[in-house]
Chains A and B, each alone.
Chain A
Amino acid sequence: MKTRRTTSALGILAIAAGVVFSSALKRAPLVEQSLPPSPAAPEQLRPPVVNPDFSPPRAGEAQTAVSRAFGNTVQMERDAATVGDFNGDGSPDLAVDVRAAEAHAPEINDPLANWTVQDCEASTDRRVAKALPSPAPVHGRELLLAVVHGYGRRGWRDPAAQQAYLVKGALDGPWVRTSRDRYPGLDAPARQTGDILAGSGTAGAIAYWTGARYVCRSAEAGRRRVAARP
């Protein structure tokens, strides 16, 4: 009997000691463990897009992309589209003149639409006071520049490529892809590696992505050289 009592007492003592010991361990100074300063993971170092497909659209492909992005709210103005990396992310984008379908203007202007309507003329290269107006509503039969931003290597052909813009006031189409190097006078806030859309109409306009919107400018102003860096 005495032995059993002693054993029980010892057991209780042992449990108490275990708790105290373990708590003491837990209460040892906690130090945020340093992680080795390592380079970025491989997926962060590789180019965002590998071997992009910039081939021109085959018959019906542009229409498929336009329908995927805008449904039946717009119709292609002509059976021609331009491919380039207009937002500078390395993935091929599609630019095409479209006309707002007469009966679908309300859908185009829906504030919850799956695309963004921007006014090319309302933006300024200096992004000052006029930079952020709400564009006037698109009206039926209005001519618009539609741009579908690409996703990955397949770009605008990829079914996931659904980021799309309808640009009002870009009336100098059909548009041709050209290098940004030809326009050293452009302000290009971020995605300055993107291609430029050069109008082949009479206005001599260019359209380009600033990182947040498409803006239009005269090609002549864009070609104006700026001072070299000191």
Chain B
Amino acid sequence: MSPQTIALSDLAVGTHALISKMGDDPHLCYLRCMGFCPGAHVELIRRVSGGALSIYRVDDADVALRHATAAMISVRMEG
């Protein structure tokens, strides 16, 4: 993982990023339909349940992901 690239789960609340790579897990196929695909802008809106889940905004939609799910997606910080 390059210095600018981090896991989506490590994004700070309120920050934006660009999805750079999706993991190989077949379950992530479903996320692609929700807008999680390389090149998409994503923002971490809030963490819930003590950080076990996070709400991300992608393509104008809010999606809750478990920490482990978000960790399978790599993002590049914007700006």
Asked if A and B are interacting partners, one says no
